[in-house]
Amino acid sequence: MENSSIIKIENLVKKFPMGKGEFTALSGIGLTLSQGEFAGLIGPSGSGKTTLLNIIGSLDVPTSGLVKVLGQSISELNAKESARLRKENLGFIFQSYNLLAVHTVYENVEFPLLLLGLSSGERKKMVMDALEWVGLTDKIRSKPPQLSGGECQRVAVARAMVKKPSIVLADEPTANLDAANSHNILKTMEELNRELKTSFLFATHDEKVINYLHRKIFLLDGRIDKDEVVSN
Amino acid sequence: MKLAIKLAFRNLIGAGLRTWLNVIVLSFSFVIIIWMKGVITGWDHQAKIDMTNWQIGEGQYWHENYDPYDPFTLNDSHAPVPEILREEVRQDSMTPLLISQGTIYPQGRLQSIMIKGLDPHQKIFHLPSHKLDTTISDAIPAIIGSGMAKNLQLGISDRVMIQWRDTEGTFDASEICITDIFSVNVPAVDQGQIYIPLNELRSMLNLEDEATILTYNNVRTDRSDVTGWIHKSKEELTSSVDELIKVKTAGTSVLYAVLILLAMLAIFDTQVLSIFKRQKEIGTYIALGYTRREVVGLFTVEGTMHAVFAALLSAAYGIPFLTWQAKNGWTMPMDTSEFGMAIAQTLYPVYSAGLVAGTVLIIMTVTAIVSYWPSRKIAGMNPTEALRGRIQ
């Protein structure tokens, strides 16, 4: 990784087949993200935020261009390598939480650690630490359907953070939350960013989130319209 | 694999009633298949034991002309006991049986029968031949099976006219007196058979010292044909039972297939529904670091684990049930004496380790295949669409 840049994108194009033709979701994207940034992709629906986030998260591949995450080119990774990248270095937070409904809070947060093959003792300590960060140590035996939306998203944050990944990708994390819960979640994430030096990249059009961002990357019709750093 | 098992376990336990319904259906298949196969194996055992005890001993020598399916051969199916076998007869480890055709007239009706001359002191068959060791001044003592007695409406002490033809072709007649009625599961020993003292029949037919069949009860491997006599091993004599069991097994296999099919249908449905309903979950697994193939593996393990749970549940209620059945047997609701085969009224199932292990292995394998089949769809899913829960 040159100059502590963890994400490097050059001339990224992403097209999707549509009917007999193609739809260009991203066009000529160039972007570099450094370690510890708290940045967001901002734009209206259809601007390509989620598509870009999915490509960075190695859940999708570019049509053309270069996308390097932690020094690895997404286009060149095979299924196993991209799974390893996600498993070891990336954390995901989704708009609708995507928690495993039949698992308890503890088991949901423990899941990424199981994939990493950590021992039961290590897992327990890390899960409890993560739940303490989000203030949910009293809910370890609850299952997602028994939790409020805010609590679910806090579990999702704990799950994303538990393995202390290099990058957390958060797709509209506050879209289903009220103002108070949104602020709580964002504060927590900001603290974790500060304490653990984890990079956060949001995809959002929510003002509440935008206000917290230290770097705002505006997307419009699949292109970067503006990229501004907010001084603290 | 260990992780897949752990996650599959959590998912199944978490799924609650849906899991248990499948497990219960599958466990019925386990128990019913093992029980039915056990009944058939038990029947096989019982039929062979009954045939050994009542009809064939440990093997027989047949007169070379004897054909049980052709009564016309009986006139020529007799000869003196061969010298080489006389010592065994003297030691009571072999007993001669003389067979002739005859007719009885119960209540004025005509009934063709086989007259069998049996040594009253023989120790090989369970037949109550000692009841023939009696003197009745104006009749021949005879024993018959309960099925025959029922058909002819004969009871102990009843008398009935019997007619036979001696070796000269002369018809003769006398009266028999029923001295005992025995109950037996081997129809060939019961239906149409009348047992009288051997010497009596020999004298009736003018066939002193002769026999049609020689039955032994000592197992020796060096037996072979003797001049004029064909050796029949126990295996040969019970081969008809083996054939019957084979046919029955083939017939019941259809039922096993239906049972397994029903259980598999439930598993297949659950898998298809899971993949349909759990798109988001599948996407989440991939986002968190699973490959699509690993998710296919997880869903396959999850489906197969139904069979593991079913095996455990089957053990919980199946072992007591199957043990109870093995001890007390299964009494058939209808009268088996008219089935025309060696079948007891109460069958005692016999279960072997091979039967249990084979059944478990077959159901596990079929469940794994049925679980894998719909799960393959996951391999073609787009994870970004799956994450949003879009049906693919």
The pLDDT tens digits for B244-291 are 878 888 887 888 888 888 888 888 888 888 888 888 899 999 999 999
Q: Is the minimum CB–CB distance between B380 and chain A shorter than 8 Å?
A: no
B182 with B260, same domain?
A: no
Residue B234 lies in a domain: no
Residue B226 lies in a domain: no
B244 with B172, same domain?
A: no
Residue B231 lies in a domain: no
B329 with B371, same domain?
A: yes
**What is the tens place of the pLDDT at every residue in B38-92?**
988 888 888 888 899 999 999 999 999 999 888 888 889 999 999 999 999 999 9
pLDDT of residue B338: 64
Of chain B residues 282-301, which have a CB less than 8 A from chain A? 283-284, 286-294
Q: Among residues B361, B363, B342, B345, which one has the least CA distance to residue B353? A: B361
Of B222 and A216, more confident:
A216
Across residues B179-201, what is the average pLDDT? 93
pLDDT of residue B339: 65
B344 with B271, same domain?
A: yes
Model confidence at A232: pLDDT above 80: no
| Closest in A83, A98, A143 to B284, CB measured | A98
Contact assignment for A98 to B283 by CB distance below 8 Å: yes
Residue A68: count of CB within 10 angstroms of its CB: 20
| Closest in B14, B280, B384 to A60, CB measured | B384
**Which residues of chain B have a CB within 8 Å of the CB of A99?**
284
How many Å lie between the alpha carbon of B6 and the closest alpha carbon of chain A? 10
**What is the tens place of the pLDDT at every residue in A137-170?**
999 999 999 999 889 999 999 999 999 999 999 9
Residues in Cβ contact with A11 at an 8 Å cutoff, skipping those fewer than 6 apart: A28, A29, A30, A64, A65, A66
Nearest chain B Cα to A112, which residue?
Answer: B288
Q: Among residues A143, A85, A93, which one has the least CA distance to residue A116? A: A85
Helix H or strand E segment including B252: helix B239-277
Name the least confident of A84-98, A120-134, A218-232: A218-232
Q: With bands split at pLDDT 50, 70 and 90, how would you rate the model's confidence at A2?
A: very low
B39 with B67, same domain?
A: no
pLDDT of residue B249: 80
B182 with B100, same domain?
A: yes
| Closest in B13, B291, B389 to A79, CB measured | B291
Determine the Cα angle at B354 with ends B353 and B356, to 5°: 65
Q: Is the minimum CB–CB distance between B9 and chain A shorter than 8 Å?
A: no
Question: Which phi and psi angles does B256 have, rounded to 5°?
Answer: -60, -45
| Closest in B288, B383, B387 to A87, CB measured | B288
Which of these three, B218, B251, B280, is where a domain ends? B218
Across residues B123-133, what is the average pLDDT? 94
Strands B346-347 and A38-42: unpaired
Q: Is the minimum CB–CB distance between B312 and chain A shorter than 8 Å?
A: no
Determine the Cα angle at B279 with ends B277 and B285, to 5°: 130
Q: Give the amino acid at B48.
A: K
pLDDT of residue B341: 65
Q: Is the minimum CB–CB distance between B14 and chain A shorter than 8 Å?
A: yes
pLDDT of residue B211: 96
| Average pLDDT across chain A, whole number | 91
Residue B230 lies in a domain: no
**What is the tens place of the pLDDT at every residue in A20-41?**
899 999 999 999 999 999 999 9
Model confidence at A133: pLDDT above 80: yes
How many Å lie between the alpha carbon of A175 and the closest alpha carbon of chain B? 14
Domain that holds residue B90: 59-218
B21 with B105, same domain?
A: no
Across residues B8-15, what is the average pLDDT? 88
Q: With bands split at pLDDT 50, 70 and 90, how would you rate the model's confidence at B392?
A: low
B185 with B92, same domain?
A: yes
Q: With bands split at pLDDT 50, 70 and 90, how would you rate the model's confidence at A201?
A: very high
**Which residues of chain A have a CB within 8 Å of the CB of B7?**
114
Name the least confident of A6-15, A62-71, B168-177, B316-325: B168-177
How many domains in chain B?
A: 2
3-state secondary structure of A199: strand
| Closest in A107, A112, A143 to B289, CB measured | A112
User: DSSP states of A119-147 as a string?
Assistant: -HHHHHHHHHHHHHHTT-GGGTT--GGGS
**Predicted ipTM beyond 0.90:** yes
B207 with B68, same domain?
A: yes
Fold for the domain defined by A37-61+79-229: Rossmann fold (3.40.50)
B306 with B285, same domain?
A: yes
Give me the residue spans of the domains in chain A. 37-61+79-229
Q: Is the minimum CB–CB distance between A143 and chain B shorter than 8 Å?
A: yes
pLDDT of residue A1: 44
Contact assignment for B10 to A102 by CB distance below 8 Å: yes
